[in-house]
């Protein structure tokens, strides 16, 4: 390690030649190979590592897997040495050689002594800064996590309450319908109808086809009046109970004439009641099925959104992540928000940390809805070009002024009022997209739309970039 090697590094511009030579004396140069481990996560940060040449991957274990946080590939980048200022400082990640290179290792104790001698006031500032930032960051992150979790939990509870309540109402109604069904069967038995008559009645019931949900209500009302008159003429006492289900099922008096040809008297009323009870039972069971399927879909969306059962880095479909995020934020998209989906069919899967990308989509969609004040058009699109896949989140809100765009990616910067969130979330989004996935995130202001554009590299483009870096 030569003196000129260190002097050429911008990190040491503030040291005079004597101080730089002292630093060289107290440290040592180490050469490392690819995949060679220099320091380990959670171990005491007893040394300060300054990159001189090559590249070092900073890797952290997340669950049962290791995730590359970043790569130190510029001379002067450093890691560790925290015990120079904090007696309990540990390495925040594992340092592992990415390519062959050299590093300067300086004991944290020596670094502390030299810093105290050279910059005593600066050391006091560093110690105060470490404590202040640690406390502020911990409180802010905890609050941010609680707010986000509370918002998502409240929205999910609201989304689940509707189908759960519908299922409960349908089950309650099924009790009465099933009782009427059994009662009508008993009355048919009392009328001593033959097996042939029951088979004929059941055949007529099976002819009934499901009706379209957009059926004309005026046509249904006209049929109900006609059916009610027919029932009264044929001595059916509870016409107000039987006519509505028959009308809703699309039946008319001609069908009732066919029933009257099979049954008469008390048996006719019991038979029609049995048919209507059967129709009501099928309808209620369909509602229960739809409601429980909706709950199941919500649970699946939460599972997809959280990615709890999947690897951290995985081959993923961007559309799936965007859709699960829209489901999670469904409570904010009701009312005056129109969601326009413009997903390209030729977007390939990419390798990414799905849970982190979902956090990005959450921040961007939440900001877009807030910008529109709950009324407008939210556009979510995907596309692909030669090197990357592109996700755009656009809104028709009032737009983003230039001064806001200039600061949008600053940590803790926000345009929201007190009590309405912890910020725009764009700083976190930028770090996830740029530092963790090697992509880009930009804001574009169009005449009628504000667009946040996220570009994520295709696997082959990412590999080509890594090869050029070596």
pLDDT tens-digit readout, 20-41 = 888 888 889 999 999 999 999 8
pLDDT at 135 over 80: no
Q: Which helix (H) or strand (E) holds 287?
A: helix 266-306
Q: Answer yes or no: is pLDDT of 238 > 50.
A: yes
* pLDDT of amino acid 470: 44
Sequence-distant (6+) residues with CB within 8 A of 12 are 6, 20, 23, 76
b vs e for 64-92, b when ≥16 Cβ sit within 10 Å of the residue's Cβ?
eebbebbbbbebebebbbbbbbbeebbbe
The Cα–Cα gap between 391 and 376 comes to 20
The structural domains of the chain, ordered by start, are 3-118 (2.60.120.10), 159-294 (no CATH), 311-469 (3.30.565.10)
For the ranges 81-85, 97-101, 225-229, the lowest mean pLDDT is seen at: 81-85
Full 3-state SS string of 120-144 = HHHHHHHHHHHHHHHHHHHHHHHHH
pLDDT tens profile 379-430:
999 999 988 999 999 999 888 888 888 778 776 566 665 444 444 568 888 8
375-384/336-343 β-pairing? parallel
Mean pLDDT across the chain = 82
Give the Cα separation of 13 and 69 in Å (integer).
28
Mean pLDDT computed over 317-326: 88
Residue with the bigger pLDDT between 466 and 64: it is: 64
In terms of average pLDDT, the best of 3-7, 103-107, 320-324, 460-464 is 103-107
Rounded to an integer, the average pLDDT of 357-365 is 87
């Amino acid at each position: 390690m030569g003196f000129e090697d260190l002097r050429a590094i911008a990190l040491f511009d503030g040291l005079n030649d004597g101080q730089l030579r002292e630093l060289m004396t107290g440290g040592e140069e180490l050469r490392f190979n690819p995949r060679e481990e220099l320091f380990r996560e959670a171990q005491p940060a007893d040394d300060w590592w300054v990159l001189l040449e090559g590249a070092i991957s900073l890797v952290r274990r997340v669950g049962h897997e290791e995730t590359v946080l970043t790569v130190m590939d510029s001379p002067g980048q450093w890691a560790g040495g925290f015990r120079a200022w904090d007696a309990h400082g540990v390495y925040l990640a594992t340092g592992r050689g990415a390519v062959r290179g050299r590093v300067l290792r300086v004991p944290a104790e020596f670094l502390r002594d030299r810093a105290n001698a050279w910059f005593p006031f600066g050391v006091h500032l560093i110690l105060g800064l470490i404590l202040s930032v640690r406390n502020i960051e911990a409180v802010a992150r905890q609050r941010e996590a609680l707010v986000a979790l509370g918002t998502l939990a409240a929205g999910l509870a609201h989304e689940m309450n509707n189908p759960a309540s519908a299922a409960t109402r349908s089950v309650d109604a099924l009790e009465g319908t099933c009782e009427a069904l059994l009662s009508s069967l008993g009355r048919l038995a009392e009328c001593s109808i033959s097996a042939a008559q029951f088979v004929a009645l059941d055949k007529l019931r099976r002819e009934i086809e499901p009706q379209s949900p957009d059926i004309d209500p005026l046509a249904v009302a006209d049929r109900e009046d006609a059916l009610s008159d027919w029932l009264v003429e044929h001595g059916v006492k509870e016409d107000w109970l039987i006519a509505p289900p028959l009308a809703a099922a699309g039946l008319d008096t001609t069908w009732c004439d066919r029933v009257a040809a099979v049954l008469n008297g008390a048996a006719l009323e019991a038979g029609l009641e049995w048919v209507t009870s059967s129709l009501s039972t099928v309808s209620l069971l369909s509602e229960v099925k739809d409601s429980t399927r909706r709950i199941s879909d919500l649970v699946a969306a939460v599972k997809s959104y959280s990615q709890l059962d999947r690897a951290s880095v995985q081959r993923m479909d961007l559309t799936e992540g965007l859709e699960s995020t829209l489901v999670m934020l469904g409570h904010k998209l009701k009312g005056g928000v129109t969601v326009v989906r413009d997903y390209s069919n030729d977007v390939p899967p990419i390798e990414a940390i799905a849970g982190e990308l979902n956090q990005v989509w959450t921040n961007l969609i939440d900001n877009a809805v807030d910008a529109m004040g709950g009324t407008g058009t939210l556009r979510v699109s995907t596309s692909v070009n030669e090197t990357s896949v592109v996700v755009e989140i656009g809104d028709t809100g009032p737009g983003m002024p230039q001064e806001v765009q200039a600061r949008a990616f600053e940590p803790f910067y926000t345009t929201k009022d007190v009590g309405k969130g912890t910020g725009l979330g764009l700083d976190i989004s930028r770090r996830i997209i740029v530092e963790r996935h090697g992509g880009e995130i930009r804001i574009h202001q169009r005449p009628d739309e504000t667009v946040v554009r996220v570009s994520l590299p295709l696997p082959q483009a990412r590999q080509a970039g890594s090869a050029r870096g070596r």
